[in-house]
Amino acid sequence: MFTRTILICSFVVAANFQNIQSSKGSSCDSLCSCEEKDGILHINCEEKDISKISQIKVPPSLPFQISLYKNEIAELHAHELESLSNAVSLHLGANNIHELEPGIFSAFGCLKKLHINSNFLVTLKEDTFRGLENLEYLQADTNFIHAIEPGAFSKLIRLKVLILNDNEIEFLPSNIFRFVPLTHLDLRGNKLQALPFVGFLEHIGRIIELLLEDNKWVCDCDILPLKNWIENMRTQSVIGEVVCDSPVHLQGNILSKVKREVLCPFHADIDLEEPSKSSGLIITPSPKVKPVPKETQIEALPTPVLVPDTCPKQCFCNNHQLAGLLIHCQDRGIQSLSDLGSPTQSPRQLLLTGNMIQRLIKSDFVAFGSLELLNLDNNHIEYIQDEAFLKLGNLQKLNLNGNKLERLTPGMFAGLRSLEYLYLEFNMIKDIVSGTFNNLPKLRHLSLKINLLQSLPPLIFHNVPLNRLDLRKNLFMHVPVGNVMDQLDFLEQIYLEDNPWDCSCDLVGLKQWVEKLRQNTVEGDILCHTPRKIAKKDLRSLRNELLCPGLVPFNALPTQAPTATTSSLFGSFTDSVPLSVLILGLLIVFLMIVFCAAGLVVLVLHRHRRSKKKQTDDPQREPSPIHLQYSMYGQKTTHHMTQRPGVNMYDEHAMSPVIQVCRSPSYCNNLKDQDLNDIHDSKYVCRSILEKENDSPLTGSNMKFRAVSDHSSEFVTLEDANSLYRNLLERERELQQLSITEYLRKNINQLQSNVDVHCPGSHEELKLMQTIMYTRPRKVMVEQTKKEYLELKANLHTEPDYLEVLEQQTALN
C-alpha cells in the first residue's frame, strides 16, 4: 500500500513537471522569459513593445505571475484577459491605458496583486474591480485619477494594501472603505482638503500605515475630526504628517502642532463626530469634501469621448467631464509641436512621448495655456529656448525624461509658476547654472536621476520648497553643503545612492548634514567608492576621524604635528571603551575634583576661625609695675619653689631676694655711707629694705598680710605659712588670668581703705594705680608664638637683675 502511494505521487509530480516544461516551451521561447519558483511560473514580458494581450501565450492550467511593465498597451478587453485568468500577479504599469471597463477583471478569481500604476487613468468606476475577491494588493499611483465612484472598492473584501499617491483625487466618497480591511493606504500627492470621521476614518480603524503628505489640506473647523483621529491613532499606526496648505496664516504648519483654538475658535460648539455617534453610519460629508453629483450616484461617470474636430490627425483625444481634454500623441513620429497645428480647445493634458522632437521654442506652446500636464519623455530634445514655457502658467507636471539635455539654465523654466513636479531623468546633464530652479516657487519634486552631474552650484535650491530630490546614478564624488544642501528646508526624501562617493575630508560636511536629517529622510545607502580601504561601506557608518585623519574638532594651529597621533590614539581608545562608560568616568573624576577642592576650602576656613577664636580667648596681658613687683621676688614662681629641710617658707621668702641683691657689686657701690664690709650683715640690709617695702600699699605687709578678721578674704595674714603660700599662688594665678587693670578695678575699694588707715603717706602709689586703671593702654599684647614661649620659659630659669628691680622700685616710691 505504501509503495503504491509513493508511485502515485511520483507520477503526479512527473506529470506536473512535464506540463510546466511544455508550458514554458509554448509561451516563453520567442517573446517572454520564464522561470519557475516554488511551483509558480514567473513570466517576464517587460519592455517588449507589446500592444495587445493576445500576443502573449500563457499556460492554461498553472498559476503564474506575469509582468507587462512598460509596454504599448492602450486598451484592455475582457475577452482578451480571459487567457490570463490563472494569474496570481498581474503587472500592467507604465503602459498607455486610459480606461478600465466595468467587470474587466471578473475572470481573475485567483489574482492577489494588481499593478495599474503609471498609466493615464482618470476614473475608477464602481464595477471596475468586480470579481477580484482575493485581491490583497492594488497599486494605482501616478495616474490622473480625479474621481472614484462610491462602490469602486466594495468588492475587495481581502484588500490590505492600496496605493493611490500622485493622482488628482480631490475627495473620497463616504463609506468607500466600509467593507475593506485596509492595513496600508497611500494618499500622498493628491488634492484632498479634509477627511471626515463618519463614512471614512471610522472604517480604517485597523490601519497600520496611512500616508497623507502633499495634499491641499485646509486647516479650519472641518479638519478637527482628522486631527482628533490622528492623535488617538499615533500609538498604534504610522501616520504621515498633515501640513496645512491654507489659510495663509497657517500655511506650512503641521496639523498636529496647531492648537484647536487656532483651527476653530468656536470648536466647543461644534460636534466633532465622536466614534460613539457613528454606529448608524449616517453619511454627513464635510463641506470641504465635494459630494458626488446625484446623477453620478445612479449612473456611471461619463466615458471619455473622441473629439475629432479638435484632435490633431496623428493623435488620440479624450474629452472627460472632470479631467478635461486629453491629447495622446505617443510614438507618432512628430518632429515639432508645429505639426500638431493650433487646437480649437486648449487641452489640460498633452502626451508626446516617444517622438522625435529635438527643439522647443517660444511659439510651440502659445495655444496650450491651460495645460496641467506635459509629457515629453523619450524624445531627442537637446535645446530648450529661454522662456519656451512662458505661457504655461497652469502647468503642474513636466516630464523631460529620456532626452539629450546637457545644460540647464534659469531661462528654460521661466513662467512655470505652478510647476510642482519636474522630471529630468535619463539625460546627459553635466552642468546646472545657479538660479535655474529659483523661478519655480512651488516645485516640490525634482528628479535628476541618471545624468552626468559632478557638482551642484551655490544657491541652486534657494527659495525652492523641495520635498523630494533624486540624485541617484550621477557622478558625484562630493556635494557641497553650504549654500546648497543646507537650503533644503522642507526636504522629506532624498536619494543619493549609486554615485562614486570619495569618502575623504571633503565628504565630512555631507555626512554631518545627513546625520542631522530626520529618520528615513535619506533613502538607500551612500556607499563609498574610494579610497579602497573603505570601499562599499556606508558613509553614515564611518567615523569622521576615519574619513579625515587630520580632522581637528577645534581650531588648532596647523603646525601641531601630534594632532594625527593624538586623534588616532583617542579614536582607538573610544573604540575599545564605550562612549557611555567614558562619559560616566569623566563625570566621576570631575565630581571628585570638585569635592576635594571644597574640602580644602573648608579646612582653610576652619583653621582661620580657630586661630581667631584662640586669639580672642587668650587674654591680653599688660606689663605693669604691680605685676613686675609681684613676680620679682623670687628666682622662680612660687609653685616651682621647693622647701629645704629645716627652713620654713617665711624665712626663705625673706632671705633669698635680699641676700642676692646685697651681693650685687653694682648695688653695693651706690652705698656710700656704709662700709663695704658691712654689706655682709644681711640682717641690717634686709631690715632696711623690708621696712621700705612694707610701707608700700602694693607690697607691704599691711596690704597682703592682714588678718582675715580685719580684712576681706582677698588679703590673708602671715600667721600661717601655708595660708601665705596659698595666697601667693592664688594671687599669681589671678594676675596671670586677669590684666592689671581688671585686677585693680576689682580691688580698688579695699586698697583705698587700707591705704588710708595704715599708709597715710602713700597716696602717690594710689594715684599711680588709678592712672593705670583709667588710662588707655598704649601697648597691645600680641599672642605669643611657641618660639617666644620657649624663650620666655628659658629666661625665667635665669638669675634676675635685681639692680634693675630696685631702680624701678625706687622710681615708683
* pLDDT at residue 782 in the model: 46
* Higher pLDDT pick, 222 / 552: 222
CA separation for the pair 807, 813 (Å, rounded): 10
Question: Which tens digit of pLDDT belongs to each residue from 66-85?
Answer: 999 989 898 888 888 888 88
Counting beta carbons within 10 angstroms of the beta carbon of residue 252, is it exposed (0 to 12), middle (13 to 18) or buried (19 or more)?
A: exposed
* pLDDT at residue 98 in the model: 86
Tell me the three state secondary structure of residue 659.
helix
Q: Is 330 left (phi over 0), alpha (psi -120 to 50) or beta?
A: beta
CA separation for the pair 556, 738 (Å, rounded): 70
* pLDDT at residue 606 in the model: 87
- pLDDT class of 612 with cuts at 50, 70, 90: confident
- pLDDT class of 65 with cuts at 50, 70, 90: very high
Angle between helices 740-758 and 721-737 (to 10 degrees): 140
Other Cβ atoms within 10 Å of 733 Cβ, number: 12
* Mean pLDDT taken over the chain: 75
CA separation for the pair 451, 405 (Å, rounded): 9
Counting beta carbons within 10 angstroms of the beta carbon of residue 447, is it exposed (0 to 12), middle (13 to 18) or buried (19 or more)?
A: buried
pLDDT above 70 coverage of the chain, percent: 63
Tell me the three state secondary structure of residue 338.
helix
Across 401-415, 481-495, 725-739, 799-813, least confident range: 725-739
Question: Which tens digit of pLDDT belongs to each residue from 541-594?
Answer: 998 888 888 765 544 434 443 444 444 444 444 444 567 778 888 999 999 999
As given in the structure block, the three cell numbers for residue 271 are 460636534
As given in the structure block, the three cell numbers for residue 368 are 496650450
* Higher pLDDT pick, 688 / 611: 611
- pLDDT class of 679 with cuts at 50, 70, 90: very low
Nearest to 702 by CA among 772, 642, 765: 765
- β-strand partners of 44: 33, 67
Beta-carbon contacts of residue 272 (< 8 Å; ≥ 6 apart): 197, 224, 225, 228
- Is this structure's pTM higher than 0.95? no
CA separation for the pair 425, 450 (Å, rounded): 6
- pLDDT class of 30 with cuts at 50, 70, 90: confident
Q: Is the pLDDT of residue 407 over 80?
A: yes
Nearest to 340 by CA among 368, 319, 312, 363: 312
**Strand 373-375 relative to strand 349-351, pairing:** parallel
**Strand 33-37 relative to strand 40-44, pairing:** antiparallel
Domains by residue range for the chain, with CATH:
98-298 (3.80.10.10), 316-499 (3.80.10.10)
Q: Is the pLDDT of residue 663 over 90?
A: no
Q: Is 741 left (phi over 0), alpha (psi -120 to 50) or beta?
A: alpha
The stretch 682-686 carries a mean pLDDT of: 44
* pLDDT at residue 545 in the model: 85
E strand residue ranges, 247-284: none
CA separation for the pair 123, 143 (Å, rounded): 10
The stretch 377-405 carries a mean pLDDT of: 93
Q: Is the pLDDT of residue 738 over 90?
A: no
Beta-carbon contacts of residue 33 (< 8 Å; ≥ 6 apart): 43, 44
pLDDT above 90 coverage of the chain, percent: 34
Compute the Cα dihedral for 467, 472, 474, 477 and give only its sign. Answer: positive
* pLDDT at residue 427 in the model: 95
CA separation for the pair 483, 471 (Å, rounded): 17
Q: Amino acid identity, residue 422?
A: L
CA separation for the pair 621, 603 (Å, rounded): 31
Across 149-163, 297-311, 497-511, 738-752, least confident range: 297-311
* pLDDT at residue 115 in the model: 96
As given in the structure block, the three cell numbers for residue 245 are 496648505
